[in-house]
Amino acid sequence: MPRTTFEPRDRELLKGRNYCHVSIPTDDGTIQSVVVWCDVDGDEIVLNSAEGRDWPANLRRAGRATLTVMNLENPLEFVTIVARLVDDTNDGADDVINALAHKYDGHDYPFQPGQRRVTFRLAPERVRRHSS
């Protein structure tokens, strides 16, 4: 049954080096799906991107997304989260992407000249974990 809060195993999947599949409706009604790095902070999912990419614009317009985080060691275990956008900021976004780079790759993020980062925070509305 769907929940609105994270259980400990949900948090483990979000805190681990598991990739997040972000699905967002586009303005023509199709679904855009991207794979990104993620983390969890309190009760919010943290995502980061570069300004100018399509998916951040779609997330801002839609105000919500469906996130799926799959256990890389057991692809049949995953958590799916329907979430709403609660924060969108450039403040501190470089620090967030650097922390995510350390989590996933073990080193500093290779910043591109002129690139402006943005951090999104999403609050869960429905959470469901699947496993076998």
pTM: 0.95
Average pLDDT, the chain: 96
Structural domain contains residue 105: yes
pLDDT mean over 33-56: 97
pLDDT mean over 70-89: 97
Closest by CA to 129, choosing from 81, 72, 75, is 81
Answer for the pair 48, 93: CB distance below 8 angstroms, yes or no. yes
Residue 47: phi and psi, rounded to 5, are -125, 160
The percentage of the chain sitting over the pLDDT mark of 90, rounded to a whole number, equals 97
pLDDT at 66 over 70: yes
Structural domain contains residue 3: no
Structural domain contains residue 16: yes
Structural domain contains residue 91: yes
pLDDT at 1 over 70: no
Structural domain contains residue 110: yes
**Number of domains within the chain:** 1
CATH number at residue 19: 2.30.110.10
Domain residues for 70? 8-130
